[in-house]
Structure 1
Amino acid sequence: MSLPTTNHENIKNKVTIEKQIGNTYFGTNPELLIGSAINELLNTLSNKPRIFHPKRRRPSADTIIKIEHNNLKSRQNIVQTYQNYCLQIEESFLDIDTQIINGKTIILENLQNLYFEVLDELGIDYISVDIIDINKIREYSDDIIDYIILKLKNSSIESSNCNLPHEAIDIGIKVIVAHAFIECIIMENPNP
């Protein structure tokens, strides 16, 4: 007995999807036609005047405590980058609210939602407990930061209002994530 054969040359584009949650686009993703608040903040931040300081600045004692509390190891560089932009990011957040209604709130809520999203991915409970298991946060701290940076970068690059050089996006995302870290929007506060 022989099995029927198929002409594989006739199959040009085959997609097998076993489990799909969300939309699948073949062609242009309509989400690429939408601008993002994060890009508006990045544009504002990149247009703020600043001077390059080659000398490394030390973060505040509170920031160092938070770094140690969350066991941030290989992603301490975001805090160092933030040191050179702390005034500009504060000004940029004020400016974003004039461009987008509740712009700062939208961005900070998005950052916090990304934090909860990665906690879900890692299986870290934050809903049914009063205090999040800090040992799990410490174990995955750099991965948590990487996840948030990657999601923000993808959102920025895939938005219609992305008109910044790669370096400005890279630095800006680090500054925004560090700001969220320092302001206890993401990661855990050592003084709850």
Structure 2
Amino acid sequence: MSGRNRLFDEEKALAQAAEVFWIKGYEAASTEDLLTAMDLNKGSLYNAFGNKRELFIKVFDWFAQRFIRNMKEVFAKHSNTVDAIREIFLHVAYPDKPIDHTKGCFYVNILGETTGMDPDLEKVAREKLLDMEKLFHKELTKAQKAGQLTSTIQPSLLAKHLLNLWNGINISRRLYNEKELEKLVELNLQLCFDR
């Protein structure tokens, strides 16, 4: 006997749950918050996603896959790696939705919340941030081989610096307006890449 068809859009439900976790954090997001945002009843939530913790891990994985895919698309459309990195960081300064300006980074928020409190969720958040570092490292290594980088800093250290900058810019966007963030991004990229 086959399982019952789900009468909801799983992708949409995960996106709505991500918004709740992003704004409220893991601990503060209640099951009621999630049910309301996802427009599901408790039975549908538990049948499709399990408990809150299992849902969170699925949301985090869904978010991370989309995020890395979007970054790869930006790198693919630019012939110059530094231009792609600039676009990625300027998107933090000028997000698609104004509310994103005050939300910070999903990864950084969750890592900050779970550090020392929940080692398993902390590990999930840390690994997703390190996936971003790995992508930066891969693209910077290709750029170095192609002669695009004039910096003498090794790609592995530059990748760590970019991840550090990512974390900082996402916190700073709660303090500064778009133009000020753009200046910070440009300054940091100039220092990184001697441009």
Q: Tell me the TM-score normalized by structure 1.
A: 0.28
| Larger radius of gyration between Structure 1 and Structure 2 | 1
Higher RCO (CA 8 Å, separation ≥ 6 residues): 1
Q: Tell me the TM-score normalized by structure 2.
A: 0.28
Higher fraction of helix = 2
